[in-house]
Amino acid sequence: MFVLGLTGSIGVGKSTAAAMFRAVGVKVHDSDAAVHALYCGAAAPLVEAAFPGTVRDGAVDRAALAARVVGDPAAMARLEAIVHPLVRADREAFLAAARAAGERIVVLDLPLLFETGAESEVDAVLLVTASEAVQKARIAARPDMTEEKLAAILARQMPDAEKRRRADFRIDTSAGMGDTERQIRALLRKIGTAR
């Protein structure tokens, strides 16, 4: 089974690319979705123990948690020490199920793939990227984005130029969805798993 790591910075279209892989039948593990699920389950009591008052009705209150960790590297490191092992276990269960089902290729959608050292867990890395102008326009269109939140996200992400240097494959989403889909299909043909 070929394991493709999918990564990219904020606003480049990584989630759209992941959806396109799903649309052609490729199973995708979404690390962000795993975190959301864990915040309503196994991670909630652990997060509450580390950050009292951040869990409401059995689920992590993301806004309350963000208020405690954004801009505080030590707090962020404590949170990551709780969440990353849980996400890794979820990812391992996904991979085991995919192998058992005979999948030829799976995608691991990992926003912080390089930053967490997860490139060692995949056969190849696909970087989703976009021009700086397109990326900025997409970020500006997000209704919940603030300058503080964006600065905190960017501070945790490796610069795009370094990701480009380290990735095995790249898809540029600047030209829109049709072109992005064409690039994904070409990549699947290249790695021998066309659907």
**Closest residue by Cα to residue 9 from 141, 139, 116, 108:** 139
**pLDDT, average across residues 177-186:** 95
What is the arithmetic mean of pLDDT over 111-137? Answer: 89
Quickly state the pLDDT bin for 195 (edges 50, 70, 90).
Answer: very low
Q: How far apart are CA 177 and CA 175, in angstroms?
A: 7
41/60 Cα distance (integer angstroms) = 9
Please provide residue 167's backbone torsions phi and psi, each rounded to the nearest 5 degrees.
-75, 150
- The segment with the largest mean pLDDT, out of 23-32, 62-71, 147-156, is 23-32
CATH for 2-32+85-190 is 3.40.50.300
Cα-based angle 67, 36, 98 (whole degrees, multiple of 5): 150
How far apart (Å, rounded) are the C-alpha atoms in residues 106 and 124? 11
The whole-number pLDDT of residue 159 equals 81
- Asked if the model's pLDDT at residue 133 lies above 90, the reply is no
For residue 115, give both structure tokens. 């930053």
pLDDT of residue 143: 80
Percent of the chain with pLDDT over 70: 97
Question: Phi/psi of residue 144, each to 5°?
Answer: -100, 10
Query: What is the arithmetic mean of pLDDT over 40-53?
Result: 96
Please, are residues 62 and 56 in contact by the beta-carbon 8 Å criterion? Answer: no
pLDDT-wise least confident of 96-110, 118-132, 153-167, 178-192:
153-167
Higher pLDDT, 157 or 118: 118
* pLDDT exceeds cutoff 90 at 161: no
Rounded to the nearest integer, the mean pLDDT of the chain is 90
CA dihedral 149, 125, 186, 102 (to 10 degrees): -110
Q: Give the model's pLDDT for residue 193.
A: 55
